[in-house]
Amino acid sequence: MNVCKHDEKYWQEKLAAFLHDPPDKALSIYDHLSRAKEIRDEIYVTADQVLVDKADQVASGLDRTFLPDSKESGFIDFIKYPIITHPTGLNSKFTVGHLSRSSSDDVLRVVRTDSEYLPKKQPLRSFALFHYFRHVFPCRLA
């Protein structure tokens, strides 16, 4: 049985769209595009930039729908102001402890370590990487 029903290009593009932003973007929007590219480069994912840009437009449109003030576009330096609020909440907040800007180094370290255990042969590698980032990686960062 072939679990990988699509070719390598399909999974590479799916990965590139999924990783158009880095997993740590919520912690720091500053320099997030270069961090996302660094992760894609680490796992050798390439895709047409138009596809990556379109994935970003769709995702940001969905995210910003729920913001109370769309003019602000939701930007906050989470490292400097580590406060979690709910967009529909009134004056309620949750303060997070100290965070550092080295989160992208931590993310890359986890990716490097875990990717050693994934298949090496294509298209199975791209298939496994997509499912790793979609299902396993969030738990690894928790």
Print pLDDT tens along the chain (142 aa): 466 677 888 888 888 888 888 888 877 777 888 888 898 899 888 778 888 888 888 777 665 555 555 455 556 666 676 666 655 555 565 555 555 555 678 888 889 999 999 999 988 888 999 999 888 888 887 6
First to last CA, the chain: 33
Q: Which two tokens stand for residue 132?
A: 């790793």
Distance between CA atoms of residues 7 and 29, nearest Å: 33
Backbone angles phi, psi at 110, to 5 degrees: -65, -45
Cβ atoms 47, 16 nearer than 8 A: yes
Q: What is the pLDDT of residue 70?
A: 46
